[in-house]
């Protein structure tokens, strides 16, 4: 053993051994299967999910198309008509000024579209027994503890807080005496996943690309008319060029007159930029966004891209999508109220009725059917 090896082993032996073990562990993780059986391609780690959620939250705040997709979904899902019926306790919970459920539905729908999940906290008042409803953003829940044999049975949820340990919330399986529980609802959930997926997950990158493309077009259109003066002086000495630079330190204003001799030549130079024929590029990006979100372009304010007939055909699939989401959303709201009723020892009767979503053809057919039913029927005896 050399002196160098002896010194390294003597002074840094434990550190070298630790680094070797870490490197071996990384190689083992790449070539050996985890004993728990969790596939990273099925269940994404939290840091990947958080990165995507942060990107979606930022895009939803800054991109008008993203915000329009979210608000449009809520406009159709919640609609104008919200009717709730239930047991006296359920009705009291719905109307309680601390809950304001009729107004709370809109931000619930926004959160479901934006995050793909909804985390609802039910807090029971020990004095009167009333439950109060609050929400937590999906970005604050980093871990969901599920049953080992059933991934759909959730036991508790971990919230990120200023404290390093965070906070655990019990699920609906907690004993009835528990003062606070958390309910979790997810949409767009793949098989094998516990967490939901945002409606914008497929298009958030295309929304960012459309932002960059549009910003580049604005810059090109701004600078394509810009120009500068190129002054050429024939057979000029360095001192002459230096004096001319000082003389022309300020460019002449528009409409001014330039007087020079034959040895001095002025030329306006502008960038050679072709800012035309880019409409197809922008439309291709918008079509990708529309296809990924399931919303046609004429719903996003681009009515020139479709006629009335094609708009009606394209809207049918969108209305079906919104109707499906509306049924899921109504079931979520009813479940929240029912869980609160059961934990308070009250009847869990709760029914939410939202304005039905239908296409133009369905609406016309329904109106025709209603008109037929309301039409007076001929008297059979008088006909005879």
pLDDT, tens digit, 9 for 90 and up, residues 51-105: 999 999 999 999 999 999 999 999 999 988 899 999 999 999 999 999 999 999 9
pTM of the predicted model over 0.85: no
Q: Residue 146 — φ and ψ, nearest 5°?
A: -115, 170
Is 353:83 a contact under the CB 8 Å cutoff? Answer: yes
pLDDT tier for residue 251 given thresholds of 50, 70 and 90:
confident
Place of tokens 């057979």: 235
Mean pLDDT, residues 314-330: 89
pLDDT, tens digit, 9 for 90 and up, residues 341-355: 999 999 988 899 888
pLDDT tier for residue 272 given thresholds of 50, 70 and 90:
low
User: With 60 as the cut, is the pLDDT of residue 181 above it?
Assistant: yes
Between the alpha carbon of residue 127 and those of residues 92, 178, 340, 372, 374, the distances in Å are 15, 14, 15, 55, 53
What is d(CA 331, CA 31) in angstroms, rounded to the nearest whole number? 44
Between the alpha carbon of residue 31 and those of residues 24, 25, 44, 62, 159, the distances in Å are 11, 10, 18, 42, 33
Pick from 28-37, 207-216, 278-287, 331-340: least confident: 28-37
Q: How would you classify residue 85: left for phi > 0, otherwise alpha for psi between -120 and 50, otherwise beta?
A: beta
pLDDT, tens digit, 9 for 90 and up, residues 210-248: 999 888 888 777 766 666 777 888 878 788 878 877 777
Nearest to 170 by CA among 158, 160, 162: 158
Pick from 55-69, 114-128, 261-275: least confident: 261-275
Mean pLDDT, residues 18-39: 54
Higher-scoring residue by pLDDT: 148, 181: 181
pLDDT for 39 equals: 52
Most confident of 36-40, 142-146, 147-151, 279-283: 142-146
Nearest to 199 by CA among 111, 138, 301: 111
Residue 266 pairs in a beta bridge with 231
pLDDT tier for residue 299 given thresholds of 50, 70 and 90:
confident
Query: Which residues 6+ apart lie within 8 Å of 195 measured at CB?
Result: 44, 49, 116, 117, 138, 144, 186, 189
Axis-axis angle for helices 64-78, 101-115 (nearest 10)? 130
Nearest to 119 by CA among 74, 156, 85: 156
**Dmax of the chain from CA atoms?**
124
Is 218:209 a contact under the CB 8 Å cutoff? Answer: no
């Amino acid at each position: 053993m050399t002196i160098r090896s002896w010194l390294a082993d003597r002074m840094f032996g434990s550190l070298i051994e630790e680094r070797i073990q870490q490197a071996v562990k990384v190689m083992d993780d790449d070539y050996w299967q985890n004993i728990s059986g969790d596939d990273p391609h099925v269940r994404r780690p939290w840091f990947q999910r958080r990165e995507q959620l942060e990107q979606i939250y930022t895009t939803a705040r800054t991109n008008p198309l993203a915000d329009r997709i979210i608000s449009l979904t809520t406009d159709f899902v919640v609609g104008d008509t919200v009717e709730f019926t239930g047991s006296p306790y359920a009705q009291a919970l719905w109307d309680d000024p601390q809950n304001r459920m009729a107004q709370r539905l809109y931000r619930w729908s926004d959160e479901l579209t934006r995050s793909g999940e909804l985390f609802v906290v039910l807090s029971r008042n020990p004095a009167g027994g009333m439950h109060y409803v609050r929400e937590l953003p999906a970005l604050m829940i980093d871990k969901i503890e599920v049953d080992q044999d059933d991934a759909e049975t959730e036991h508790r949820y971990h919230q990120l807080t200023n404290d390093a340990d965070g906070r655990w919330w019990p699920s609906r399986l907690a004993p009835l005496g528990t003062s606070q529980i958390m309910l979790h609802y997810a949409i767009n959930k793949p098989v094998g996943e516990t967490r939901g997926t945002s409606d914008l997950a497929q298009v958030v990158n295309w929304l960012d690309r459309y932002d960059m493309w549009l910003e580049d077009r604005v810059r090109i259109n701004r600078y394509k008319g810009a120009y500068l003066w190129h002054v050429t002086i024939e057979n000029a000495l360095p001192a002459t060029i230096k004096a001319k630079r000082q003389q022309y330190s300020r460019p002449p204003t528009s409409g001014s007159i330039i007087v020079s001799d034959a040895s001095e030549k002025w030329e306006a130079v502008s960038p050679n930029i072709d800012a035309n024929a880019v409409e197809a590029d922008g439309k291709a990006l918008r079509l990708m966004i529309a296809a990924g979100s399931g919303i046609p372009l004429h719903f996003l304010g681009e009515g020139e891209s479709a006629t009335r007939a094609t708009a009606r055909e394209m809207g049918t699939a969108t209305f079906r999508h919104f109707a499906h989401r509306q049924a899921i959303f109504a079931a979520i709201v009813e479940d929240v109220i029912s869980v609160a009723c059961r934990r308070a020892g009250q009847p869990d009767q709760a029914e939410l009725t939202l304005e039905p979503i239908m296409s133009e053809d369905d609406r016309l057919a329904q109106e025709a059917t209603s008109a037929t039913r309301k039409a007076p029927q001929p008297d059979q005896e008088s006909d005879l």
